[in-house]
Structure 1
Amino acid sequence: MTHTHGIHTIDTGFVRPRFDAAYLIGENGRGAFIDCGTNFAVPRMLAALDDAGITAAAVDWLILTHVHLDHAGGAGELIAQLPNAKLVVHPRGARHMIDPSVLWAGASAVYGESVMEQTYGRLRPIPAERVIEAADGHVVDLAGRALRCLDTPGHARHHIAIHDACAKVCFTGDVFGLSYRDFDTTNGPFILPTTSPVQFDPEALHASIDRLVALRPQAMYLTHYGRVDAVERLAADLHAQIDAMVALARDAHGRPDRHAVLAESLTDLYATRAEAHGWQQGREALRQLLGMDIELNAQGLEVWLDR
């Protein structure tokens, strides 16, 4: 899908359709990818280049919002297909792209090796000389078009968002929440925060959202999923829910069935808000669509509580 200003939305095919997005920005025949999905998304990324009329050799950049594997797992395989591209990543994430063994080991300890290989594919290291660390304010030059990297913690400490002043938009990774098109109504998009393990920080997340809104973007491009407008309304929804989720976590703390209680109360929160938003498919349909996110949000809140 192509939007204005040469921005192409790529469905990476992870989990289900319209769940996980990457982006291609084209400018004067040159290209930059933002996020890349898993190894299995690489053919889709290359197909997007063909659709845009950009050669692999004309891709200058692969910018990662953060190194969680649904955003960055395919970075090594993709970079290997792009002879002139450099990888741009938060300084805290760079070492994990150069040597992904720690990233792999940590995730494998949770999910198991076989699930990891089936879900993400084996992670491929990226030569250090092709990796650029993007400190706060770092500007990526795409054929004269400035893409500014902003340190935006809250979801992860190695998270950047990318401000594209030319298009008046931000590419937000996970810091501006999750908004699946399945929940769109006549009231517009529905949004919820992501607190998934292991670095959720509510104060930092509030501040990062405010920082992006202060840029007055016309739209946000989310990894999960796609372009959303109504930025100020969605930001207010995120702020309210971060506070509500933190309160639910505190209420569940100390209970022997804490995880189950928290998952159920999060489901109640999102179902109530979705219904108020005009989404009428009911609680079970919501649980089908958000089950993974509810589970991860509960886990992330618990890690935060224990910290």
Structure 2
Amino acid sequence: MGEQLPAFSAQGIHCIDTGLVRPGFDAAWLVVEQGRAAFIDCGTSHAVPAMLQALARLGLGPEAVDWLILTHVHLDHAGGAGALLVHLPHARVLVHPRGAPHLIDPSRLVAGATAVYGAEEMARSYGQVLPIDPARVHCASDGQSIDLAGRALLCIDTPGHARHHLCVFDARSRSWFTGDTFGISYRELDGPHGHFIIPTTSPVQFEPEPLKQSIVRLLDHAPLAMHLTHYGSVGQVDRLGQQLLEQIDAMVVIGRQALAVGENGLEDRLFSALSAYYAHRAEQAGLATEPVLRALAIDIRLNAQGMVCWLQREQR
């Protein structure tokens, strides 16, 4: 099953299941150093109790949190930021400059998601999306390092999944908090050859070449592990990185072939083609295709939708 990962909890890194969709689907992260804490991503407002409980289990109160770092402002990563900050009296928010306006005024973000999911599903899955006081929002420049009680957390600009995406490098553990830049890899799909991974190209800002460049930039730091939002920590980093690069190239080919047939039914054609492609990769990895496609059903649909957005932009 591949290399043995270190015990990241011993290095002050803790994974928090936010409870979105199903267990093992959506993670937030907590980094603790000398009694001070930083959250990296936070899930939805429904995850606030889990975030506070994670602190309590470590003997920390909400006042110990100095930073909430958001990899990007998609609601499964940052929808609960405003609700969480109500409980964190000293925490500042660090976010990509393109994401900051959506934290201060989330109305456009909420309206867009409501148009896709409907008001009932928005309330059920994402809860309240509260605005954040501009004084608490700090924009991360590319290469900026923040200090957590002497522990450096490096933030870099990583477009490709979204133009407002950053990743966070922890030199202490030689590992990245990758948001969605380094794809998705669910632990129930770990198989005889290790982790199974696919890129995530959800709407609306998927860009293949910037995403590939961002992945290469992460690998250039020779990390030991990646901490994914979807889901958990993975090793075998070079192998997985090369697989992601190969898949992005393959998805470009699949997308252009599907578009050549016409725009009518494009999303469904992409969904079918991607399903077949990931099923083939699952077979190559020694996995049964049915559970893989079942676990990835939401992600494949979102990937198809994101590819439609990219193809339509490319046409224009």
Normalised-by-shorter TM-score class: over 0.9
What is the aligned counterpart of 1:264 among 257, 262, 272?
Answer: 272
What is the identity percentage for the equivalent residue pairs of Structure 1 and Structure 2?
Answer: 56
| Aligned residue number for residue 160 of structure 2 | 154
Runs of 5+ unmatched residues, structure 2: 1-6
What is the SS of the residue equivalent to 2:210?
Answer: helix
Supply the AA of the counterpart residue of 1:299: Q
Give the superposition deviation at 1:186. Answer: 2.5
Please list the CA deviations of residues 31-72 of structure 1 after superposition, one character each: whole Å capped at 9, or x if unmatched.
Answer: 000000000000000010011222110100000000000000
- Cα RMSD of the aligned pairs, angstroms, is 1.1
| Aligned residue number for residue 116 of structure 1 | 122
On the 8 A contact 1:2/1:9 being kept in 2, the answer is: no
| Aligned residue number for residue 67 of structure 2 | 61
| Aligned residue number for residue 6 of structure 1 | 12
Give the superposition deviation at 1:2. Answer: 5.6
Separation in structure 1 between the aligned mates of residue 107 and residue 153 of structure 2, nearest angstrom = 30
| Aligned residue number for residue 218 of structure 2 | 212
Separation in structure 2 between the aligned mates of residue 3 and residue 266 of structure 1, nearest angstrom = 36
Give the superposition deviation at 1:286. Answer: 2.4
**Farther off after superposition, 194-203 or 181-190:** 181-190
Separation in structure 2 between the aligned mates of residue 16 and residue 123 of structure 1, nearest angstrom = 20
Please list the CA deviations of residues 117-163 of structure 1 after superposition, one character each: whole Å capped at 9, or x if unmatched.
Answer: 11101211111111110010111110011101100000000000001
Separation in structure 2 between the aligned mates of residue 52 and residue 208 of structure 1, nearest angstrom = 33
CA pair 40-51 structure 1, distance change in 2 beyond 3 A: same
Supply the AA of the counterpart residue of 2:23: P
Separation in structure 1 between the aligned mates of residue 146 and residue 132 of structure 2, nearest angstrom = 19
CA pair 152-257 structure 1, distance change in 2 beyond 3 A: same
Give the superposition deviation at 1:258. Answer: 2.1
On the 8 A contact 1:26/1:52 being kept in 2, the answer is: no
Give TM-score, length-normalised by structure 2.
0.94
| Aligned residue number for residue 185 of structure 2 | 179
- Deviant stretches of 4+, over 6 Å: none
What is the SS of the residue equivalent to 1:116?
Answer: helix
Give the superposition deviation at 1:261. Answer: 1.6
Aligned runs of 1:193-272 on 2, under 5 Å?
193-253=199-259, 254-255=261-262, 256-272=264-280
Separation in structure 2 between the aligned mates of residue 2 and residue 18 of structure 1, nearest angstrom = 17
The answer on 1:92 being equivalent to 2:98 is yes
| Aligned residue number for residue 292 of structure 1 | 298
| Aligned residue number for residue 26 of structure 1 | 32
Aligned runs of 1:30-45 on 2, under 5 Å?
30-45=36-51
Separation in structure 1 between the aligned mates of residue 174 and residue 182 of structure 2, nearest angstrom = 16
The answer on 1:303 being equivalent to 2:294 is no
Runs of 5+ unmatched residues, structure 1: none
Please list the CA deviations of residues 168-226 of structure 1 after superposition, one character each: whole Å capped at 9, or x if unmatched.
Answer: 10000000000001110121111000011000000000000000000011000000000
Supply the AA of the counterpart residue of 2:112: G
On the 8 A contact 2:83/2:128 being kept in 1, the answer is: no
How many residues are aligned here?
305
What is the SS of the residue equivalent to 2:98?
Answer: helix
What is the SS of the residue equivalent to 2:296?
Answer: helix
Give the superposition deviation at 1:167. Answer: 1.1
| Aligned residue number for residue 3 of structure 2 | none
Give the superposition deviation at 1:166. Answer: 1.0
Separation in structure 2 between the aligned mates of residue 57 and residue 150 of structure 1, nearest angstrom = 27
